[in-house]
């Protein structure tokens, strides 16, 4: 039985970016339970009216960046204005500068949003790839998005993980034969992402989403 109590009122207006690769239904339900009024849209003008923007994602880095290409300037402007931008799974990887995935697939270099400097690399471990299932979160430093989740478990599905240029960009890690970033954030703290899926991570995920909604409400 769930111990998470939804807020009695809407705390923030959130845009969920629809670029063809997101788990929109589950993410919407999670955000609404966390106190957000959610608009699913690919209209860049909606970003300016929102308290925060969520960039979800399932699939390949190249396809993600190609699909989100028309929104690149709007996402970058939103982030550079100091407003909350939350990337989930592929959406988190898209926050970085590049990914080995396109090279691995023989598709050449693809440029990410470059809001968190670094690249995404493939797991080279003596374990099954993709990394799929529940894993423990180890919070490395304070950030509003990870309040109350140190030592809790979240649900991952991925073959690549972030390697930020700045070690301080790593907010939380998990272990899969190598310690990899489970949560990253830019220096200003307003751009952040989770490699795991909070909308599939039970009470831990709902806490993450509630942290995000409260962060949006405070900005």
Whether the Cβ atoms of residue 115 and residue 94 lie closer than 8 Å to each other: no
Per-residue pLDDT of the chain (219 residues), as tens digits, is: 345 555 657 899 999 999 998 779 999 999 999 999 999 999 999 998 999 999 999 889 999 999 999 999 999 999 999 999 999 999 999 999 999 986 655 555 789 999 999 999 999 999 999 999 999 999 999 999 999 999 999 999 999 999 999 999 999 999 999 999 999 999 999 999 999 999 999 999 999 999 999 999 998
Q: Is 216 a catalytic residue?
A: no
Instruction: List the one residue out of 28, 89, 17 whose CA is nearest residue 60.
Output: 89
Among 89, 101, 131, 214, the one annotated catalytic = 89
pTM, 2 dp:
0.93
In 10 A of CB 100, how many CB atoms? 15
Distance of CA 136 to the CA centre of its chain: 17
For residue 155, the 8-state DSSP code is E
Q: Is 89 a catalytic residue?
A: yes
Q: Is 147 a catalytic residue?
A: no
Distance CA 121, CA 172 (A): 17
């Amino acid at each position: 039985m769930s111990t998470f109590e939804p807020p009695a009122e809407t705390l923030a207006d959130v845009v969920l970016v629809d670029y063809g690769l997101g788990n929109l239904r589950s993410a919407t339900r999670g955000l609404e339970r966390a106190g957000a009024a959610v608009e699913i849209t690919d209209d860049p003008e909606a970003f300016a009216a929102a308290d925060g923007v969520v960039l979800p994602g399932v699939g390949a880095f190249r396809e993600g960046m190609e699909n989100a290409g028309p929104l690149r300037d709007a996402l970058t402007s939103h982030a550079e204005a100091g407003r909350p931008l939350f990337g989930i799974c592929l959406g988190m990887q898209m926050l970085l500068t590049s990914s080995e995935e396109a090279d691995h697939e023989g598709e050449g270099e693809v440029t990410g949003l470059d809001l968190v400097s670094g690249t995404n690399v493939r797991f080279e471990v003596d374990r099954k790839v993709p990394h799929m299932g529940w894993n423990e979160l180890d919070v490395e430093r304070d950030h509003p998005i990870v309040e109350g989740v140190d030592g809790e478990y979240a649900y991952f599905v991925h073959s690549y993980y972030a390697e930020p240029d700045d070690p301080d960009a790593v907010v939380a890690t998990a272990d899969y034969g190598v310690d990899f970033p489970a949560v990253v954030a830019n220096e200003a703290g307003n751009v952040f992402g989770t490699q795991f899926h909070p909308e599939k991570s039970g009470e831990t995920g709902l806490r993450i989403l509630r942290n995000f909604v409260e962060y949006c409400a405070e900005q």
